[in-house]
């Protein structure tokens, strides 16, 4: 199924999108990648959604990308004897390891690792930052705090600690079980929550053992500081603005978003912009103008994908939310200013033969009537390099590996086709021409650019570029060899 845009749409599945008909409608409305949120739903729920997605893939003949989002270590207070208490500004409140029900003076925080990292002056944010505490005194089993922003605190509300790097593994025991489950199930990407350091990513990679690509969610100040090192060991990035906006001043998030997106683009790694993009569409069939502008901004920045969370998982208008993103993307990408911005922000990088080949393909597409850049790939690296160039024409990703095709469905501008293995470049050209014609990217006698590596089926050998016509005599001349 050909999309009329380059940016991809990620839709989260949940109670509002939990049957074949709805998920199929989301796909047809424009969803390219489906997110399974491991924070919600049992393994049986996740398995059922996975099976429906693979059925849609079989029914449509289009690779479908599945992203499993691990919960990460959730830091929460305990429970209160009365269910909730009111904290008053400039009042005192204690967090401790005592499991007794909470009162107006104290509550259990069952995370000794937090107390080990705290110092006087550290900030603690409760319930997405609605309540703010400043540590006045602390020890290995308590923190006496001053309430700087009051409010109602209730059972099991989340706690954020923005000022320190916590001695926490990015993967809890639940995450480890979930990781093994979804890898065995067969997902294409693993999203890691609350990454703080590159070692968190390397741990997940060792557990995944190549069964899924690793996407790091940047949602903590420590991750922003260590971004370059985290990016280097990740396969992709998610700008998770929810917790990022809790732990940092909200005005700091937009420039951070731009820096993270540009860094991922320069590294030729896909980047998703996520959280509250069309939040009002949880309850309304129409988004606000500000939300549409937010989606458009991410597209103008050159993000590979924009994401729906509760809008498609639990909202009343999941299909309309996908359609809104789809229509916004088409409108933005048809704006001449979009192309000016994308090309002005292109990072020139010519460190290898492959870099030079894909840059040449993009330049040819800008100066001649090329209809598509067709890339043969085993790992997806060639396609990622072409996508980094943000060419003006579509990218056809041709691979004999369905796993590669699925993962590349997250990458900007790609249309993924699973092909028969090729042994010679002539056969590859014929295969590319057939795909361009059959999927509507070119008409007979129009030209395509073909990028590949010789010898075939050897990783990391991108070394050849050819401009070829979609010529009927070439395509139907019999045995391509």
The residues carrying an active-site annotation are 35, 76, 217, 275
DSSP one-letter string for 124-180: EEETTTTEEEEEEEEETTEEEEEEEE-EEEETT-BEE-TTS--S--SS-HHHHHHHH
Residue 1 in contact with residue 326, Cβ under 8 Å? no
Specify the 3-state DSSP secondary structure of 96.
strand
Rounded Cα gap, residues 314 and 37, in angstroms = 12
Q: Give the C-alpha separation, 88 to 234, whole Å.
A: 43
Angle between helices 20-29 and 43-60 (to 10 degrees): 50
Per-residue exposure over 143-154, b if at least 16 CB sit within 10 Å of its own CB, e if not: bbbebeebeebb
Are the C-beta atoms of residues 30 and 322 closer than 8 Å to each other? yes
Judged by DSSP in three states, 451 sits in strand
Which two structure tokens, joined as six digits, stand for 269?
Answer: 């790694």
Q: How far is CA 339 from CA 102, 267, 316, 461, in A?
A: 56, 20, 35, 30
- What residues contact 373, with CB distance under 8 A and at least 6 apart? 361, 362, 365, 386, 391, 393, 394, 395, 396, 448, 449, 451
Structure-token pair, residue 238: 């998610």
Counting Cα atoms < 13 Å in the Cβ hemisphere of 215 gives 30
Q: How many CB atoms sit inside 10 A of residue 327's CB? A: 14
> Which DSSP symbol is given to 121?
T
């Amino acid at each position: 199924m050909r999309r009329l845009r380059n940016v991809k749409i990620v839709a989260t599945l949940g109670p509002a999108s939990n049957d074949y008909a709805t998920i199929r409608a989301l796909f047809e409305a424009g969803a390219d990648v489906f997110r399974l949120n491991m924070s919600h739903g049992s393994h049986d729920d996740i398995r059922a959604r996975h099976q429906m997605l693979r059925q849609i893939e079989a029914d449509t003949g289009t690779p479908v990308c599945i992203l499993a989002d691990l919960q990460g270590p959730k830091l929460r207070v305990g429970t209160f004897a009365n269910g909730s208490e009111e904290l008053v500004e400039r009042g005192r409140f204690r967090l401790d390891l005592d499991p007794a029900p909470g009162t107006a003076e104290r509550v259990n925080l069952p995370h000794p690792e937090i107390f080990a990292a705290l110092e006087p002056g550290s900030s603690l944010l409760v319930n997405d930052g609605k309540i703010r505490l400043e540590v006045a005194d602390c020890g290995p089993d308590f923190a006496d705090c001053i309430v700087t922003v009051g409010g109602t605190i209730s059972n099991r509300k989340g706690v954020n600690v923005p000022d320190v790097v916590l001695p926490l593994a990015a993967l809890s025991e639940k995450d480890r079980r979930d990781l093994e489950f979804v890898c065995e199930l067969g997902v294409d990407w693993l999203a890691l929550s609350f990454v703080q350091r590159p070692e968190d990513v390397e741990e997940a990679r060792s557990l995944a053992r190549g069964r899924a690509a690793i996407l790091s969610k940047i949602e903590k100040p420590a991750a922003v500081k260590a971004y370059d090192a985290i990016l280097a060991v990740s396969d992709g990035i998610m700008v998770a603005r929810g917790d990022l906006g809790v732990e940092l001043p909200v005005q700091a998030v937009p420039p951070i978003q731009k820096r993270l997106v540009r860094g991922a683009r320069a590294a030729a790694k896909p980047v998703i912009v996520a959280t509250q993009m069309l939040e009002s569409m949880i309850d309304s069939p129409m988004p606000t103008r500000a939300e549409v502008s937010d989606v458009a901004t991410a597209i103008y920045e050159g993000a590979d994908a924009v994401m729906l969370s509760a809008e498609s998982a639990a909202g009343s208008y999941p299909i309309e939310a996908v359609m809104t993103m789809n229509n916004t993307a088409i409108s933005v990408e048809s704006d001449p200013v979009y192309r000016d911005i994308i090309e002005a922000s292109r990072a020139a990088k010519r460190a290898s033969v492959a870099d030079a080949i894909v840059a040449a393909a993009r330049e040819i597409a800008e100066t001649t009537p090329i209809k598509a850049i067709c890339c043969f790939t085993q790992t997806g690296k060639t396609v990622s390099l072409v996508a980094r160039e943000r060419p003006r024409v579509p990218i056809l990703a041709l691979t004999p590996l369905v796993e590669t095709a699925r993962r590349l469905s997250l990458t900007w501008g790609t249309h993924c086709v699973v092909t028969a293995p090729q042994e010679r470049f002539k056969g590859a050209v014929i295969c590319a021409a057939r795909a361009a014609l059959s999927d509507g990217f070119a008409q007979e006698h129009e030209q395509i650019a073909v990028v590949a590596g010789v010898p075939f089926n050897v990783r990391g050998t991108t070394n050849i570029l050819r401009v070829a016509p979609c010529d009927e005599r070439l395509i139907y001349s019999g045995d391509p060899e």
